[in-house]
Amino acid sequence: MNAGVESLPAAAARPGATRRIEVLDHRDPAVAARILAVLRLAHVQEAALLGGDASERFTRTVADIQSGDQFHVGMLDGDDALVGALALGADDEPGQICIASLVVHPDHQRRGIARSLIDEARRRVDGAVLSVVTAAVNTPAVNLYESLGFVAYRRGTMEPGAVRVVKLRQPGD
């Protein structure tokens, strides 16, 4: 097992796949760097959807990840590469837990990794209401959340650039 991670069985792994979900110790600089690498790749994709320059908006650093108070889980492949990560944090609305980020490495998308990470989040929040904010034009993300029972209930804009966003939530058990 890697330093900084706690191994858990991967939900819905494809036959023959050796993926696993692990709790990620984001305070460990090496783990934070791995999270940041996948976040950067996902940010480039989202910037393309938004029609912007990815380099202008992405300012997160390893130190930012390390100092955050979020709870992180990740999907690792058989070579211990981090192929997806999810962070849970406090929501701005009482009684909800926010999916602060959900990213999958572009080379590993459309393989059930995001679903598996969301399933793990559901298990960990033990019936609490999960919420998420995403760019309204991020159709793949909105479709994923809606397919998992999340319902859009707030819309607005987020600075910089007045990005249109949608907030979705999934009632607890």
Confirm whether 20 is domain-assigned. yes
Q: State the residue range of the domain holding 38.
A: 5-127
Question: CB-based burial of residue 139 (10 Å sphere; 0-12 exposed, 13-18 middle, 19+ buried)?
Answer: exposed
Q: By mean pLDDT, which of 64-68, 124-128, 129-133 is the weakest?
A: 124-128
CATH number at residue 104: 3.40.630.30
Rounded average pLDDT over 4-29: 66
Q: In what order do the strands lie in the sheet with 82-90?
A: 5-8, 20-24, 71-76, 82-90, 96-104, 129-135, 163-170, 151-158
Confirm whether 170 is domain-assigned. no
Number of domains, the chain: 1
3-state secondary structure 116-132: HHHHHHHHHHCCCEEEE
Q: Which amino acid is at 68?
A: G
The pLDDT of residue 10: 42
Q: Is pLDDT larger for residue 33 or for residue 18?
A: 33
Task: Provide the 10 A C-beta neighbour count for residue 12.
Answer: 12
Rounded average pLDDT over 91-95: 90
The Cβ-side half-sphere exposure at 43, using a 13 Å CA radius, reads: 15
In percent, how much of the chain has pLDDT > 70?
83
Helix or strand or coil: residue 53? coil
Average pLDDT value over all residues in the chain:
83
Confirm whether 140 is domain-assigned. no
**Which residues are registered as beta bridge partners of 5?**
24
* pTM greater than 0.85 (yes/no): no
Asked if residues 39 and 47 have their Cβ atoms less than 8 Å apart, the reply is: no
